[in-house]
Amino acid sequence: MFLRLKRIGLLLAYGLQLLLTSRLCSGEYRNQPLRLRGGMRCVIQRVTSASVKVDGETVSSIHRGLCVLVGLSTEDKRESLEWMSKKLLSVRFFEGEDGKMWKRNVQEIQGEILLVSQFTLHFRLKGSNLDFSKSMSTEAAREMYQEFVDQVKRDIGDPNLVKDGKFGAKMEVEICNDGPVTMQIEHPEPSTQKKS
């Protein structure tokens, strides 16, 4: 009896999968918003230099290191800040002394980090229209973004190695991408980000 119910359950699940697939292929959901996964999202660029200007004035600049665009969502919690900070400092974005790629992290090369708030990372599409309702509200994001800047400064050990832009301002971000190397890291981690 149990095995029969189990088989029925599997058949129902398979049938539901086929139904959803056929509806997607037929375009039934064509006008529905494209929903991206929620959670903290950082776009990391390995750079030889980077800077931020506001109203024509340079407010921050770094030499070799990482330029990080930081997107906060309505779902983010404190644990995301701590996790992301440790990940930024531990991932091996840089080559080793032997010239081989992916051998050292930003701390091991004594690199700098430029953090830039970027609410547009949590966009959604509905046709050609952009929707940012998944982005954290301005005031909440201002506070949480500053917490993230402070977290990275604590974790790296030398706060002078961490710079940031001007939250909420219209910024000009100039980078010299080294490689080029650009990666996206999210928390909670999507299955495509983790290797089993």
pLDDT digits (tens, 9 = 90+) for 1-14: 444 434 434 433 44
pLDDT at position 64 is 98
Tens place of pLDDT per residue across the chain (196 aa): 444 434 434 433 444 343 334 433 444 434 444 344 568 999 999 999 999 999 999 999 999 999 999 999 998 888 999 999 999 999 999 999 999 999 999 999 999 999 999 999 999 998 999 999 999 999 999 999 999 999 999 999 999 999 999 999 999 999 999 999 999 999 988 877 877 5
pLDDT at position 44 is 98
Q: How far is CA 68 from the centre of its chain?
A: 8
> Tokens 């981690």 correspond to what residue?
189
pLDDT at position 189 is 81
> Exposed, middle or buried by CB within 10 Å (0-12, 13-18, 19+), for 13?
exposed
Let me know if 120 is a catalytic residue.
yes
Q: Which of 120, 138, 184, 193 is catalytic?
A: 120
pLDDT at position 102 is 95
Q: How far is CA 34 from the centre of its chain?
A: 18
pTM beyond 0.85: the answer is no
With CA atoms as reference, report the closest residue to 149 among 89, 92, 81: 81
CB-CB contact of 62 with 114 (8 Å): yes
CB-CB contact of 126 with 33 (8 Å): yes
Let me know if 138 is a catalytic residue.
no
pLDDT at position 37 is 52
Q: Please report the sign of the dihedral spanned by the C-alpha atoms of residue 113, residue 119, residue 124, residue 125.
A: negative
Token duo for residue 5:
């119910």
pLDDT at position 196 is 57
pLDDT at position 193 is 80
Q: Which of 93, 119, 148, 167 is catalytic?
A: 119
pLDDT at position 38 is 61
CB-CB contact of 123 with 162 (8 Å): no
Let me know if 119 is a catalytic residue.
yes
CB-CB contact of 136 with 146 (8 Å): no
Q: Which of 45, 94, 118, 148 is catalytic?
A: 118
